[in-house]
Amino acid sequence: MILYDLQCAKGHRFEAWFRDGAAYDQLSGRRKLACPLCGDRRVEKAVMAPRIGKARAPQADQPVAKPSKAVMGEHIKALRELRRKIEDSCDYVGDEFAEEARKIHYGETDPRGIYGETSKEEAEALDEEGIEYARVPWVPRENS
């Protein structure tokens, strides 16, 4: 849907919604639009100022909405399940993650799922080389 400001030949301004720009063009071309104030069928788009919203940072005195405990609990549960799946199906390579990821990427070793740790600089280098990886928030196990 699109909202246009319209104006008749007598200067009356009004708004109208259309399915899309083509719908306006079709109705306008066949003079099917009329001014709701005077009935004039000589209707054209009026000059409009764009409605552009500007993102605003929250004010210091306005509270920032936080997820509920139930929502956070569901996220934590999902992250714990993801951790379990990674640990069950991938090899832990510790702080050699970047080196092992390169070996797999360049075909120097058999492809397999790995997980471990890497520094911010090593991760940026992997990005620059086009080596795909994912960072996962590592939450503690439930019984830790």
Please, which pLDDT band fits residue 50 given cuts at 50, 70 and 90?
Answer: low
Burial (CB count within 10 angstroms: exposed 0-12, middle 13-18, buried 19+), residue 118: buried
Mean pLDDT (whole number) for 67-84: 85
**What global pTM score does this model have?**
0.51
Residue that wins the pLDDT comparison between 144 and 87: 87
Residue that wins the pLDDT comparison between 43 and 63: 43
What percent of the chain has a predicted confidence (pLDDT) above 70? 85
Q: Is the dihedral of CA 73, 78, 83, 88 positive or negative?
A: positive
Count of structural domains, the chain: 2
Task: Give domain status of residue 77, yes or no.
Answer: no
Task: Give domain status of residue 68, yes or no.
Answer: no
Residue that wins the pLDDT comparison between 137 and 113: 113
Task: Give domain status of residue 12, yes or no.
Answer: yes
Full residue range of the structural domain in which residue 102 is found = 82-144
Same domain, 143 and 94: yes
- Check residue 85 and give its pLDDT: 92
Same domain, 138 and 89: yes
Same domain, 31 and 88: no
- Check residue 51 and give its pLDDT: 59
Q: Has residue 63 got a pLDDT over 80?
A: no
Structure tokens at 57: 């940072």
Task: Give domain status of residue 26, yes or no.
Answer: yes
- Check residue 65 and give its pLDDT: 63
Question: What are φ and ψ of residue 105, in 5° steps?
Answer: -60, -45
Say which residues have a Cβ less than 8 Å from residue 126's Cβ, sequence separation at least 6: 98, 101, 102, 118, 133
